[in-house]
Structure 1
């Protein structure tokens, strides 16, 4: 079955009528429906499916074993995200299995497809949560305390999904199963469009992280409180949005984004008592990323003091720059006939796993250059080219 047809089969799942696009979040009802769909598709192909203790799905071609060739991605999205980010890597893996079987290929080493949960962090705020738990990159007790905007904790969400929260955490047995990991993903940028290529390889991932800034002031009446008497935390929060752009512009190649602000209590005619603001910052390396965040944090402290407010800055997740295994990357470039090799500013489960084992990423051309939005796109022909390239890579690695 083609990758495009498989994507079409889930095109109606998780549509967001307010934001547009899709809202599919870790262990919510929509993502659980998608996990059930994947399990059914894997079973149709005779793949044995299991769920590990951190909620990652594994679909095995043949018997499970260590030193396996593993591919896959995720099925969750950002709020109002596109149709391709995550699911394309999953459906391309299924389509690649179909292609390999049509060619009469039989793996000479274990081969599996994985689906990692909560890669986007759209529900619990920490990106690549499944792979971070597997590798021990996040403390399991801290992870279980994470909560979504409705107050549901990760522990409660795992229980809803039928998983035992007491078992989450670093899983050395699962890591030992992965001899090499290859993730296919829609490109999140314009690199392949500008190069006129349908498929490419990832060279590196920017250092990146998420920080929460909490501004605390004094809640009061919007009409009855004179400007001179206010301690309004929205003012320093608004200033930080602008400070983030200035700080990033001052460091070559860096990015800083405020994509989420929550005032409390949130009434139109109420001066908020607290404003929570989330900052996403990225740059070529750790030093530059930290420098941007330090600049923004200093501006936040100054702005808060001017308004008579307080501010705290909390790091919620962080990943250093990733340089994908050069030996594996050059090997796969040879298999694929010298496709372009590109850096990316987006984080991925492959980037988390790269600290523990050889990983690689394939990109499929995105003609809009837009991602994390409904306009994200990939042409059917490019999706099939990506699935075929993935099949070639898996055949090479799993002989």
Structure 2
């Protein structure tokens, strides 16, 4: 029987990012494929039946697949330079839960499955929770297939190179019917459990959040031969956007606005950029405040662009409204876990996408650093064990 810490240790080094620190594991790249293969090996070693659905999500079934199943799992991909726990902790805890249940002589009365979702972070193709969005049909299949990574490879091309058929992607009614309830365990991305001095919590809600691309277009030119007065430099309005995002979000209660990626074209040190793409992540406790942040920032960005003689194009790349997890399921699991506290989260998850389709819940495991999406992300071994035991207890209750 393997615990979550032992299973996590087996992943150490896969996709390690020497430049950024942490891990870079993106859908269909070598590291992510290695992790998928590892998951299949681990599942089959437990006599779980594995399949990959039409949207590249991997399933491992305890017994025969069937409708009304209790499903758990998470993802194995990461943000660029991400931590070791975001995603993989949920997967290894699910496998460990199967071991714990079997060691206790448990036999599920309902079908039980572990799932690994594809491209949860959007680290390669830009859209988060892509596997669960395709599963539920909340992203258009043609749009998803045409998404491009930074090298210009489309999602369809990457999927085809992995041996899958991109012509089949899209809402999967059969797979959705099999999910009766979904419970995702995740390392906490914040300080709630630190302040409460508890190892495990249940989720109450997810902030409304989305991603927008601001493209500023100007005139590429020579950095030394072009007078300041003759420039149409898109880097200037792009830079102003970064500062304005902080100012506008600070005026919205619970608002967050982040520019984590900015790409100039062509990107030479001695070249005035011809265009600059800026990606904005905006979040708040509600739909209207989140969209207000983006609308106000779009208006300001248009003025910044006009002042420099540049053009602006704003594209919404993804959006999810506020998610409130199934209250009855949340309360059942909280009571089962010694009145575990219910915490909101500012982070998006596949569970948030599935919540519109099936009763869904989340468990959080304490993160003593409070840091996530960075190498300092952490969870203590004893808390990881507590999380796996809590998940096993929830699965036994739901599937037994």
- Return the offset for 1:160: 1.5
The match for 2:307 is 306
The match for 2:397 is 396
Q: Distance in 2 between matches of 1:166 and 1:317?
A: 22
Q: Deviations over 1:154-183 (max 9, x none)?
A: 011111111100000000111000000000
SS of the residue 1:81 aligns to = coil
- Return the offset for 1:12: 1.3
The match for 1:34 is 35
The match for 1:140 is 141
SS of the residue 1:208 aligns to = strand
> Are residue 268 (structure 1) and residue 269 (structure 2) matched?
yes
The match for 2:61 is 60
Aligned counterparts, 1:117-128, within 5 A: 117-128=118-129
SS of the residue 2:282 aligns to = strand
The match for 1:229 is 230
Q: Distance in 2 between matches of 1:11 and 1:152?
A: 28
Instruction: Name the count of aligned residue pairs.
Output: 399
Q: Distance in 2 between matches of 1:292 and 1:253?
A: 11
Q: Distance in 1 between matches of 2:322 and 2:173?
A: 23
Q: Deviations over 1:194-216 (max 9, x none)?
A: 10000000000000000000000
The match for 2:112 is 111
- Return the offset for 1:241: 0.1
The match for 2:379 is 378
The match for 2:97 is 96
SS of the residue 1:138 aligns to = coil
Q: For the aligned residues, what is the CA RMSD?
A: 0.4
- Return the offset for 1:259: 0.3
> Are residue 345 (structure 1) and residue 352 (structure 2) matched?
no
Q: Deviations over 1:20-64 (max 9, x none)?
A: 000000111110110000000001100000000001111000111
Q: Any gaps of 5 or more consecutive residues in structure 2? A: none
- Return the offset for 1:151: 0.9
The match for 1:187 is 188
Q: Distance in 2 between matches of 1:373 and 1:333?
A: 29
Q: Distance in 2 between matches of 1:212 and 1:194?
A: 35
Q: Any gaps of 5 or more consecutive residues in structure 1? A: none
TM-score of the two chains, using structure 1 as the length reference = 1.00
Q: Deviations over 1:238-263 (max 9, x none)?
A: 00000100110010101000000000
Aligned counterparts, 1:213-228, within 5 A: 213-228=214-229
SS of the residue 2:393 aligns to = helix
- Return the offset for 1:337: 1.1
The match for 1:69 is 70
- Return the offset for 1:98: 0.4
Q: Distance in 2 between matches of 1:82 and 1:114?
A: 20
Q: Distance in 2 between matches of 1:195 and 1:297?
A: 39
- Return the offset for 1:137: 0.4
Q: Distance in 2 between matches of 1:319 and 1:241?
A: 22
SS of the residue 1:391 aligns to = helix
- Return the offset for 1:318: 0.3
Q: Deviations over 1:186-235 (max 9, x none)?
A: 00000001100000000000000000000000011111111111100000
Q: Distance in 2 between matches of 1:246 and 1:299?
A: 11
Aligned counterparts, 1:282-321, within 5 A: 282-321=283-322
Q: Give structure 1 regions of 4+ aligned residues with deviation exceeding 3 angstroms.
A: none
SS of the residue 2:361 aligns to = strand
SS of the residue 2:264 aligns to = strand
SS of the residue 1:72 aligns to = strand
- Return the offset for 1:336: 0.6
